[in-house]
């Protein structure tokens, strides 16, 4: 089996990195990258576009002349992939020593490796494979929201808030007819230039919308089996209180009393619905709100710390940089506000 190791430090690096491994040229036109599979390797092509909102769309139509493995690592970005196979088959795994998950024609895989893991794709010799997949840079994606991330429904909050890739995601299922039709429209698109880029961008969002709706329905079925309605309402009551009193300090015990359950039930509910402890959730909604306030350019760091009821400016700067990889002052500087002294 021929193996290609690809280290991707930026969303636009994939096709250039693969072209380098194949020892061939690639093309790029107004943001769309294209690579023709060389004869010595196989037949077909790979195309990709990455949009400013953090969503990239890639299409593969190829047949390899030998068994191929692509091992993809992302030191700098932590993506989540929605992969759709419309013809042929391939396998995916996160570690070399674990069994690969098979993705056949008309199936999808939602996959996100943990931090420092690679995602491995395996293609069989002489099998024609047609793929369409969305690759989402979660940090960049949430920065394009016009609302606070914690306002998302719990299932989507858990999916997109994990910008450090602490949790692995690996879910499979059957492609819906609606999604299959959109993929066909993308494949058959004969537009060129800027109209093509806009068309594919719109279709990418459409695919994501259908996929998230399907993902939500599946999760609801699971949650109904593991979390009682009373406990779910208690978590929601706690979330509503926190949203309205973001600057107020509140212990887990006090929040449990407000929600009408004991602390163990409340912690269990937050873990199942958000994948976080109560205090982790409180920290994250404050940081999300802080990012929004700083990005708007209307508040300085001291004002943000005060309005969110945080304990100190130095502590806020520390946890902000841990979550977003950049200091609050740098976010503020990007808005050309007067810089505050340290």
Rounded Cα gap, residues 338 and 320, in angstroms: 20
pLDDT at 337: 41
Number of CB atoms found within 10 A of residue 266's CB: 25
237: exposed, middle or buried (Cβ count in 10 Å: 0-12, 13-18, 19+): middle
Give the pLDDT score at 305: 87
User: Could you tell me the domains of the chain?
Assistant: 2-222 (2.60.120.10), 229-333 (1.10.10.60)
> What's the pLDDT at 31?
92
What is the DSSP secondary structure assignment for residue 150, as one 8-state letter? Answer: G
pLDDT average per 10 residues of sequence, the chain (342 residues): 92 93 95 96 96 93 97 90 94 85 92 91 96 92 81 82 89 84 88 92 91 76 63 86 85 90 88 84 86 81 86 86 84 58 36
294: left (phi over 0), alpha (psi -120 to 50) or beta: alpha
How many residues are listed for the chain in this entry?
Answer: 342
């Amino acid at each position: 089996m021929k193996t290609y190791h690809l280290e991707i430090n930026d969303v636009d690096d994939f096709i250039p990195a693969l072209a380098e491994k194949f020892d061939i040229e690639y093309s790029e036109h107004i943001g769309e990258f294209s690579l023709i599979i060389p004869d010595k390797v196989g037949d077909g092509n790979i195309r990709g576009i990455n949009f400013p909102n953090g969503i990239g769309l890639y299409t593969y139509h190829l047949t390899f002349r030998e068994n191929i493995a692509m091992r993809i690592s992302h030191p700098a970005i932590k993506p989540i992939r929605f992969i759709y196979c419309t013809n042929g088959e391939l396998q995916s795994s996160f570690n070399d020593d674990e069994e690969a998950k098979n993705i056949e024609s008309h199936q999808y895989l939602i996959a996100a490796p943990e931090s420092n893991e690679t995602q491995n794709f395996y293609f069989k010799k002489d099998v024609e494979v047609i793929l369409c997949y969305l690759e989402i840079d979660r940090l960049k994606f949430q920065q394009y929201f016009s609302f606070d991330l914690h306002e998302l429904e719990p299932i989507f909050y858990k999916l997109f808030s994990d910008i450090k890739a602490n949790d692995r995601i690996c879910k499979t299922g059957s492609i819906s007819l609606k999604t299959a039709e959109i993929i066909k429209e993308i494949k058959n698109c004969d537009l060129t230039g800027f109209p093509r880029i806009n068309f594919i961008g719109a279709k990418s969002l459409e695919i994501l919308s259908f996929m998230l709706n399907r993902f939500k329905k599946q999760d609801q079925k699971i949650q109904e089996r593991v979390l009682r309605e009373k406990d779910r309402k208690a978590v929601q009551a706690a979330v509503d209180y926190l949203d309205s009193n973001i600057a107020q300090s509140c212990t887990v015990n006090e929040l449990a009393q407000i929600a009408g359950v004991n602390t163990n039930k409340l912690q269990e509910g937050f873990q199942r619905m958000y994948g976080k402890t109560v205090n982790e959730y409180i920290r994250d909604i404050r940081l999300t709100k802080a990012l929004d306030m700083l990005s708007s350019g209307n508040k300085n760091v001291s004002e943000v710390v005060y309005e969110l009821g945080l304990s100190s400016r130095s502590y806020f700067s520390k946890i902000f940089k841990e979550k977003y990889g950049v200091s609050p002052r740098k976010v503020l500087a990007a808005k050309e506000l007067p810089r505050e002294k340290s």
